[in-house]
């Protein structure tokens, strides 16, 4: 089964994609992880764009993704998180593979801002927490695992979050029309277990 997980920042799509990967025994592919783990010749090309603060061209993203989804572990399917993000990417993606279902995890902007502004991570081991929602740290200042200091991402201020949500509404939401025949909407304002249950039920 080939699944796309789409939703605004803070919707928990990455968390749910990871859970579904274990439940369905298919790989969870995150575009961010692919960029970080790209092969050397592609890594150099990627770094050029990232160092200059430029967006990675859609064609290069697709080249990296195509290499990944045709690996042997993807024969039974995969869960893709963080792609496509715009209509051009959706069109290019259709040229290399079909998708069985698109899971849209919905979330209000108000809730997204609350969740994102509560995100913290350990500066030592990178473990992630949220001071407003699960998983909450036992101590709001220190990591449960290693005791390291918990810090907030610099781009998790309200102004930056609103800008990211605006980009999502303007660029990513329009692609949902392309997938309306295979689209499943899930309420992302529920707890993690309920969202997981709803996704599993929708795939039966």
Show which residues are catalytic: 13, 85, 119, 153, 164
- Residue 55 phi, psi (nearest 5): -70, 140
Distance CA 74, CA 116 (A): 31
Confirm if 31 and 78 have CB atoms less than 8 A apart: no
In Å, how far are 16, 32, 86, 104, 147 from 167, measured between CA atoms?
Answer: 22, 17, 10, 16, 36
Confirm if 119 and 156 have CB atoms less than 8 A apart: yes
Distance CA 86, CA 175 (A): 6
Distance CA 117, CA 120 (A): 9
């Amino acid at each position: 089964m080939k699944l796309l997980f789409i939703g605004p920042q803070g919707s928990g799509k990455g968390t749910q994609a990871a859970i579904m990967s274990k439940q369905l025994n298919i790989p969870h592919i995150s575009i961010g992880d692919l960029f970080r783990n790209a092969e050397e010749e592609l890594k150099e090309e990627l770094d050029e764009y990232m160092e200059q603060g430029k967006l990675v061209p859609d064609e290069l993203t697709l080249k990296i993704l195509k290499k990944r989804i045709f690996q042997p572990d993807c024969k039974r399917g995969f869960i893709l998180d963080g792609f496509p993000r715009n209509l051009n990417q959706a069109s290019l993606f259709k040229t290399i593979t079909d998708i069985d279902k698109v899971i849209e995890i919905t979330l209000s902007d108000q809730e997204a801002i609350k969740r994102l502004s509560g995100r913290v991570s350990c500066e030592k081991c990178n473990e992630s927490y949220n001071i407003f929602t699960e998983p909450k740290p036992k101590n709001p200042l220190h990591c449960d695992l290693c005791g390291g200091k918990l810090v907030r991402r610099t781009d998790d201020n309200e102004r930056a979050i609103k800008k990211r949500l605006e980009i999502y509404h303007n660029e990513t939401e329009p692609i949902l029309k392309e997938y309306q025949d295979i689209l499943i909407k899930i309420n992302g304002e529920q707890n993690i277990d309920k969202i997981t249950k709803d996704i599993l039920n929708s795939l039966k």
